[in-house]
Amino acid sequence: MEYRNVCLEAFAYTLPEQVVTSEQIEAWLEPLYTRLRLPEGRLELMTGIVERRFWTEGTMPGDKSLETAEKALRLARLDKRHVGALVHGSVCRDFLEPATACGVHRRLALPRECMIYDLSNACLGLMNGVVQVANMIELGQIRAGVVVGTESSRSLVEATIERLNRDPSLSRNDVKLAMASLTIGSGSAAVVLVDRRLSRTGNRLLGGVAQANTQFSHLCQGTHDDSGADEMRPLMSTDSETLMHEGIRTARYTFTRFLDRIGWDADQIDKTFSHQVGRAHRKLLFDSLGLDTALDYSTLEFLGNTGSVALPITAALGVENDHVAPGDRLTLLGIGSGINVLMLAVDWQHSLKSHEVVCAGPQAIETATSDETSDV
């Protein structure tokens, strides 16, 4: 992938108000921990995740995606008449049909000529949407587009806790397969892309590389609770250790091709935003790529793994907190189950921000008293 006419104009995010700590989750798992004699604190120790967030029960993904997309467009000061594509890229959506993008499109009052659809690809959905919108802009089909999504973790985490507590046959190994489900958090993110002639930032998307390694697609699979309950709730089984190693192996191969395609050396990369999984994954990934973790912006400690919105929501917070500066060579490192890897290069010039924040993390966001929103 190579682009000459596409700019990453604006990132926006929305965070839920309810904070759920790893300590709380372990308290809810007390029957399991007692039966298997599991040590307290292992969830945070293994993952580095102190807390994650839940939307208010009954929140629809499309409602939050609308909120986040509105802020991204407002920040970009983009005339809605220029928006030629709206992609809703999260795993979570309002209905099987119509597309969640339809409701967001209607309430945003975007043009009827705007192409709208949902896109699902595990943790890479929004990033895939960025590529598709960029392709349309580069081809001259549209002048601007919005990629948005909202992930909700409440049902998955609650269903996982219920299953772990009610089934006395589960072993420590079974618990390991469910551990990744307990790291999932909620959030919403949006990205605005524009033709460079419309851009106020000059943040040029230069191109990138994608790789699929689908022989490992069985390592992380989402299903539904088969307990016979009236409500079908999600469950996920993840071989986290094997997935981590095979995902990083795929990322290392992709990174070599990425550097060749873009024409950079690894030591020319100034900053990164990456998919947020856990502390061990992040360290091993950057060690494998020969990059310093200081180049990266981390949100996993206070947001957990927010799925497809993890990378763009981290980028939004990082931009807001001056992680990138004019002239930075920025790399977006996307990795998702499947296994899928997508890496994009950006020539960063200017950050659009609605206000200044001293820091991002629990201290910066714990003052919120209602669903907190921000744009960057």
Q: What is the pLDDT of residues 121-135, one digit of tens each?
A: 988 999 999 999 999
Q: Tally Cβ neighbours within 10 Å of residue 57.
A: 10
Beta strand pairing call for 271-274 and 329-336 = parallel
CATH architecture, domain 1-376: 3-Layer(aba) Sandwich (3.40)
Where in the chain are the domains? 1-376
How do residues 178-219 score in pLDDT, each as one tens digit?
888 999 999 999 999 999 999 999 999 999 999 888 776 676
Comparing 79-88, 168-177, 341-350, the range with the smallest average pLDDT is: 168-177
- Name, in order, each residue with C-beta under 8 angstroms of 366's C-beta and a sequence gap of 6 or more: 19
Contact 201, 349 (CB under 8 A): yes
Q: Per-residue pLDDT tens for 245-300?
A: 788 888 889 999 999 999 999 999 999 999 998 888 889 999 999 999 999 999 99
Q: Give catalytic residues, as residue numbers.
A: 97, 123
pTM above 0.75? yes
DSSP secondary structure code for residue 193 in this structure: E
Alpha carbon separation from 182 to 130, 153, 179, 231, 324 (Å, rounded):
28, 9, 5, 20, 31
Q: Biggest alpha carbon distance in the chain?
A: 63
CB count, 10 Å around CB of 223? 10
